[in-house]
Amino acid sequence: MIRYWFILATCALGASTHGQAPSHSAVNPAPRLEANWQKRASLLDQRLQETADTELLFIGDSITQGWENGGASNVWKQFYLRRKAVNLGIGGDRTQHVLWRLQKAPLEGVKPKAAVVMIGTNNSNGEDHTPGQIVEGIAAIVKTLRQRLPETKILLLGIFPRGENFNPQRGKLTQINQVLMKMHDGKSVHYLDIGHHFLKDDGILPTEIMYDYLHLTTQGYEIWAQALEPKLAELLGEKK
């Protein structure tokens, strides 16, 4: 399998053909200046310090942060409370923001068995980033996690589908996921695409699962948790 560092250097569609390092915003670590973001980022650092015995991290954007909302929080309790999971999602984040947070986060005192990563949908808006640039951003996140948490197994999720029906953005995300799959090495990095679980047979994304065709309902989070469980239990070394 092609390793994530090889992808970062050569495979992404937007990479330089002259051997130069990527220099676009998706791979350049950057904080956000909004007060709410700064407050949330500080809260997440505090969570890490207070949950040093965590077995599991969830890393991402608003879709990950949404585990804390309403009925989704009950699903979280059912599946992840006993694993002392820590939610590191921030709404609106892109790869560059997650990269900055992971580089600055107080990870020295934690040794989670697994980290679930799902990021990149916000980078895919319009012409903001090419599929290749988004792959590079995600690869940089995986590389950072491998450096900072070398004993943690990474469960890299394909970016979830968005939009009610077939659309160009879904196609963009599919292109990204096809390359993300190559980061799977079966040891440190494991790739899993569960996006098809959210769709009907005709490709429709129902509002019962994603109320705005992007963010999950409680039913959507139930589907996510159930689809994740077999692989997650394996990575955590839990008895079947």
Which one of 25, 45, 73, 215 is the catalytic residue? Answer: 215
Annotation says 62 is catalytic? yes
- Contact between 34 and 181 (Cβ < 8 Å): no
Question: CA distances (Å), 76 to each of 65, 152, 156, 235, in order?
Answer: 11, 21, 19, 18
Smallest CA-to-CA distance from 125 within 173, 192, 160, 187 is with 173
* Side-chain half-sphere CA neighbours of 29 within 13 A: 12
Concerning whether 215 is annotated as a catalytic residue, the answer is yes
Partners of 154 in beta bridges: 115, 189
Active-site residue, from 62, 73, 185, 193: 62
Distance CA 28, CA 191 (A): 24
Identified catalytic residue from 16, 128, 196, 212: 212
- The Cα 74–Cα 220 span in angstroms is 13
Under 8 Å between Cβ of 173 and 161: yes
- Whether 212 is a known active-site residue: answer yes
Cβ of 44: how many Cβ atoms within 10 Å? Answer: 20
The residues annotated with a catalytic role in the active site are 62, 212, 215
